[in-house]
Copies of this chain bind each other. A is one copy, B any other.
């Protein structure tokens, strides 16, 4: 299979995997979930335009912020389908996260305070203490990504 990008400007799944750090199996999985897509070479092999790398980067970042793949898919669907996304498209998309990040940071700050003031002093009681407010589901998800693997 070699390195078709030298001549065609399209990347194989192996190249994309190496460049993004995301396993090929994960890339296929993302495609199945509709998060990315690919053209096919005559052989049936996937060929990716370079722009897929930014899309993948967005996915990886969003996951670390705490979004699920479904949520990420929703966000990505807001990109213009007719043309290549501009940097403005990307920044508009990513600006939605900011408040989410801030919320999560705020919760962590509350937890931190609760650790010393609440557990430390002995008042800790779930039915009275609101520190562990389970408001943001995705936030807690952020702490538990796909735990597996990878020797």
A interface list, Cβ under 8 A from B:
19-22, 53-54, 56-58, 60-61, 63-68, 87, 90-91, 93-95, 97-98, 101-102, 104-105, 107-109, 111-112, 114-116, 119-122, 124-127, 129, 131-134, 137-138, 140-150
Contacts and interface: CB of A to CB of B under 8 A. Distances in A.
16 contacts: A53-B125, A54-B119, A61-B124, A64-B107, A64-B146, A64-B148, A90-B120, A91-B115, A91-B119, A101-B112, A102-B112, A105-B109, A140-B145, A141-B150, A142-B146, A142-B150
A121 B126 CA distance: 44
A60 B125 contact: no
A39 B60 CA distance: 46
- Residue of A63, A102, A111 with highest tally of chain B CB at under 10 A: A111
Contacts of A150: 138, 141-142
A119 B94 contact: yes
Contacts of A149: 141-142
Q: Oligomeric state, in number of copies?
A: 2
- Residue of A22, A126, A141 with highest tally of chain B CB at under 10 A: A126
A87 B120 contact: yes
A128 to B, nearest CB: 10
B114 A61 contact: yes
